[in-house]
Chain A
Amino acid sequence: MFAFIFRRFGLLIPTFIGITLLTFSLIHMIPGDPIEVMVGERNLDPVMHAQAMHRLGLDKPLYAQYFDYIGQLLNGNLGESIKTREPVLKEFLTLFPATLELALSAMLFAAFFGLLAGVIAAIRRGKATDHSVMGLALTGFSMPIFWWGLILIMVFSNYLHWTPVSGRVDLAFDIPPRTGFMLIDSWLIERADPANFSGAFIDALRHLILPTIVLGTIPLAVIARMTRSSMLEVLKEDYVRTARAKGLSPFKVIFVHTLRNALIPVLTVIGLQIGTLMGGAVLTETIFSWPGIGKWLIDAIGSRDYPVIQSGLLMVATLVIVVNFAVDILYGVVNPRIRHAK
């Protein structure tokens, strides 16, 4: 098992180098002169321009610049936001829990309902249930996030008044950040100080519902389709017949003997959805004014805050590969053939 983890870990390094190359070249792909863009003025004094180039190391050859960049990264220096003058890393860490909470919640939602829908469709293959579940999945998959979010807000917030429209918690509650997860923080403070924070947890939960659905819909659809086809594949296997020949209940045959093996390709798909989820988070956070990484990046793009864009993307990309790495490991855990492979 350790050898397996180690091998997979080795694969991370080239991927990471690729990512740094991308984010590094980003700054060089900005149309126009980087200094002018950064300062936001045209026709700078040539002396000042040269000084700035020198200060930023932009006068060195490209490869030297790249190594400088890597060196800084390794020192944990991700630059400063031009707008706020705060270290990018610090901003990232403050905002990240909000995105993580949303993404986790959306992924749980998508995985639970996606697996359920896929299993049901596979068992009812060719029947009306199968067709309707898969039809819904296709609809969900093709749903534009922005439009879907607005529809949900219109119905559940504006019309039914069931859910709030924006933010993570009602502004009346001033929740002190402890874990950064609003659900946990609000629950903690409500227990510690019930007089002032009564209802905070439920309020945070209600804020989370719509963004979760909006962000989770596409992964849900993808997971449902993958689960269905993978289940159908595994249901044909001889060992499923063996399981039935043992006199096991259909429930055990499906959930113990079939799903366990059908899960392997589904896990990969779940892992791949993380990337989609980060992309979706950008939109979802914007729709619901969710104070996370997505909204932060969008704002940074709006204000041309290049260090934030560059390092923000780097961290998001790193996150995606780390998650995919974790998925790979999980893959080995559920599939002994891979775990034991030489």
Chain B
Amino acid sequence: MNLLEINSLSVAFGSTEKPFHAVDGLDLTVRQGEIVGIVGESGSGKSVTMMAMMGLLDGQGRITAERLQFDGKDLLTLGARERRRIVGKDISMIFQDPMTALNPSFTVGYQIMEVLREHLGLKGSALRQRALELMEMVEIPAAASRLDAYPHQLSGGMSQRVAIAMAIACRPKLLIADEPTTALDVTIQAQIMDLLVSLQQSQNMSLILITHDLAVISEIAQRVAVMYAGQVVELSRVPDIFLSPAHPYTEALLASIPEHSKGARRLSTLPGIVPGHHDRPVGCLLSPRCPYVQDSCRTVRPELTTTSAGAVRCHFPLSGKEA
């Protein structure tokens, strides 16, 4: 069974007359214990999707969906209070910049214990004990003394470990990591990624990993969703998508990785940028940039259709390596 099922999720910002769909009919499923990677250029709506699911957009974006189901519960109809019982407990999230993600006014111990108190009702020494345990789980050295440290006394890597400890505190079923290593030193990036994967395995949780680093995805993820302008343009199993991308955008994304470098925020191989607020084309969203564009691409927007390896949103999907 799918732990998370998203059908046709849209998030609109701005006025109702002139809405901007940061997420535009997005489909995504995540299975129990699976690692799903999400890739796509800046502004393609990766973060907004996850924030919408967590209920963190705070009335700014208008969320609609055919289906938004987590662990058998319909997140769309769930009241705010019930949703808060899930968020931070069964689904949790870590963010890009660990240096700003922790509250500067409270000790890291307090911030970890806060989650445990809120969701598990732990108190007193059991609470402190569990917080310490979590800090050891995320491999923070001298955890006991760090419990009373303030965020500004920690390095970026340590702060991200604290954020991870907070996120896994209640043994979530799904952890969302939104570019968890982008803000860190290169040497620390691998450590944090290893930690996430080993926690994912030991806790048997599902992990959604948003990243620009396709190399990391190819190593750890089982499936990848490629996002473009608020839509999933291709969803596929991991070796397949790297070997034979079905969507021209995926192909361009892969081609833009020079040998060993990290993935690109902008694509050198595709001219132009992700369409913004007011320049979304009528047809396929990639049509202005697509090297294989045909007339019908400019007028008819393709649907996400199932393929042998997953799904693709393209009128003329690439087959094999013939391109």
State the A residues within 8 Å of B (CB). Answer: 237-239, 241-249, 257, 260-261, 334-337, 340
Contact = CB atoms under 8 A, between A and B. Distances in A.
B103 A340 contact: no
Interface string B81-102: 0001111110011010100111
Contact of A245 (B54, B102, B150, B153): B54
B259 interface: no
A245 B118 contact: no
A261 B105 CA distance: 7
Contacts of A237: 100
Given A335-B105, A340-B150, A244 B100 contact: no
Given A245-B56, A336-B150, A239 B86 contact: no
Contacts of A244: 56, 58, 87
In the complex, the 9 A-B pairs of residues with the closest C-beta atoms, listed nearest first = A247-B88, A246-B88, A238-B100, A247-B87, A239-B103, A247-B84, A336-B150, A260-B105, A242-B101
A261 B103 CA distance: 8
Given A247-B118, A340-B153, A239 B102 contact: yes
A246 B115 contact: yes
Given A238-B97, A239-B100, A336-B150, A247 B85 contact: yes
A242 B153 CA distance: 19
Measured as residues with beta carbon below 8 angstroms from the partner, the interface class of chain B is: 20 to 34
Given A237-B100, A245-B88, 20 more contacts: A238-B101, A242-B103, A242-B166, A244-B58, A245-B54, A245-B87, A245-B92, A245-B95, A246-B92, A247-B86, A247-B88, A257-B103, A260-B103, A260-B105, A261-B103, A261-B105, A335-B105, A340-B150, A340-B152, A340-B153
Contacts of B153: 340
Contacts of A337: 104, 150, 152
A248 B103 contact: no
A244 B104 CA distance: 16
Contacts of B88: 245-248
Contacts of B240: none
Interface in B38-96: 54, 56, 58, 84-89, 92-93, 95
Given A249-B84, A337-B152, A243 B104 contact: no
A330 to B, nearest CB: 13
B101 A336 contact: no
7 contacts: A245-B56, A245-B87, A247-B87, A248-B88, A248-B114, A257-B103, A261-B104
Interface string B108-130: 00000011001100000000000
Nearest to A257: B103
Contacts of A245: 54, 56, 87-88, 92-93, 95
B95 A238 contact: yes
A263 to B, nearest CB: 9
A216 to B, nearest CB: 27
A336 B154 CA distance: 13
A260 to B, nearest CB: 5
A241 B114 contact: no
Contacts of A257: 103
Given A238-B100, A245-B56, A245-B93, A336 B118 contact: no
Contacts of B115: 246-247
Contacts of B119: 247
A242 B104 CA distance: 12
B163 interface: yes
Nearest to B90: A247
Nearest to A239: B103
B105 to A, nearest CB: 5
Interface in B148-206: 150, 152-153, 163, 166
Contacts of A248: 84, 88, 114, 118
